[in-house]
Structure 1
C-alpha cells in the first residue's frame, strides 16, 4: 500500500475541506491493476461508486493503478464540458512528480488543491451543500 493509515485519514480530511470550497465532489481510488486500460477502469469505477449520479454532474475521480504506476483524473459530464480533459494534464503531472519522489500523500494533497482551484471557478460552493460522495479513499 502506498499510504499509511494516518496519511489516508489526512487525505480524507483534505478531500472534505476541498469540497467545502466548491460544489464539486472528489473520489480517490487505488486499484492494483487495470487489465483493460486505465480509462475503461475509470469508467467502471465511476459507475460502481455512482459518481455519475451527483446532482450537478460535478464529480472528479483520481484513479491510481498501483502495479502499473498509472494515474488518471476522470471528470463527470459537467466537469468535462466546463474544463475539458486537457485541464487535468498539469495537475496529473504535479501529482506524478511527487509520486516519483515517494511523496504520495503530498502529491495527492497538491493535486486536490489544484483541482479545487480549477473547479471552484465553475462549481462555486452552495449555501446548502450536501456531501453526495463519501470522502473515504477506496482500495480495490
Structure 2
C-alpha cells in the first residue's frame, strides 16, 4: 500500500470527485446505453467510483481487481447470452477498466478493451468526461453491433443508469 494513494482516498471527498458527472451527463449516458443496447445483444453497465472503501485501499486492491469484484457483485456476468460489459471509472486513481463477459471477450479480446480504456483516460486527463465517456460507449456499441447484432428478442437485463459509488 502506498501512503499517497491511501491519503488521496481518505482525504478527497466524493462530492468533489464526482462533480464532472452532472445530472445532465448521467442522463445522456443512460440514454446512450439504452440506444446502444437496442442495436446489439450486449448489456452495458457503467460504474463511477470516487473513493475506494478503506479496506480495498488497505489491501492495495487495484482498479482492475475492483472492477472484477463489481462485475460479480452487480451480476454483470449473469446475463443470458454471457454478454455483460462493465465499464468502471476509478476517479482517484485515474483509471478506467472494462470487464467483459466470456461471450463477448472471446470475440473482442483484451487489446480492444484496453484501447477503449486508454482512449477514455486520455479524454479525462484533459477534463473532457462527457465526450470521453460518450465516444467510448459508441466505440463499444459499434463493436457489439458487428459481433452481437440484436435479434427479435433482446431483453434489457441490467440497469441502464450509471451507478455512482
TM above 0.5: yes
Identify the match of residue 53 of structure 1 among 51, 73, 78.
Answer: 78
SS of residue in 2 equivalent to 1:47:
helix
Instruction: Report the alpha carbon displacement of residue 117 of structure 1 after superposing the two structures with TM.
Output: 1.0
Aligned match of 1:14: 32
Q: Do structure 1's residue 83 and structure 2's residue 101 form an aligned pair?
A: no
Instruction: Report the alpha carbon displacement of residue 20 of structure 1 after superposing the two structures with TM.
Output: 0.9
* CA–CA separation in structure 1 for the residues paired with 2:74 and 2:117: 22
Q: Which stretch shows the higher mean deviation, 32-41 or 102-111?
A: 32-41
Q: CA RMSD in A?
A: 1.2
* CA–CA separation in structure 1 for the residues paired with 2:113 and 2:78: 21
**1:7-48 Cα shifts (integer Å, max 9, x gaps):** 101110011101111110111001122631112111111111
**1:83-119 Cα shifts (integer Å, max 9, x gaps):** 1111112222221221112111110100000001111
Unaligned runs of 5+ in 2: 1-17
Identify the match of residue 145 of structure 2 among 120, 123, 128.
Answer: 120
Q: Do structure 1's residue 3 and structure 2's residue 21 form an aligned pair?
A: yes
TM-score for the superposition, normalised by structure 1? 0.94
Q: Do structure 1's residue 28 and structure 2's residue 53 form an aligned pair?
A: no
Q: Which stretch shows the higher mean deviation, 88-97 or 107-116?
A: 88-97
| Residues matched between the structures, number | 140
TM superposition outliers: structure 1 runs of 4+ over 6 Å: none
C-alpha contact 2:96 2:118 (8 A) present in aligned 1: no
Instruction: Report the alpha carbon displacement of residue 81 of structure 1 after superposing the two structures with TM.
Output: 1.1
Unaligned runs of 5+ in 1: none
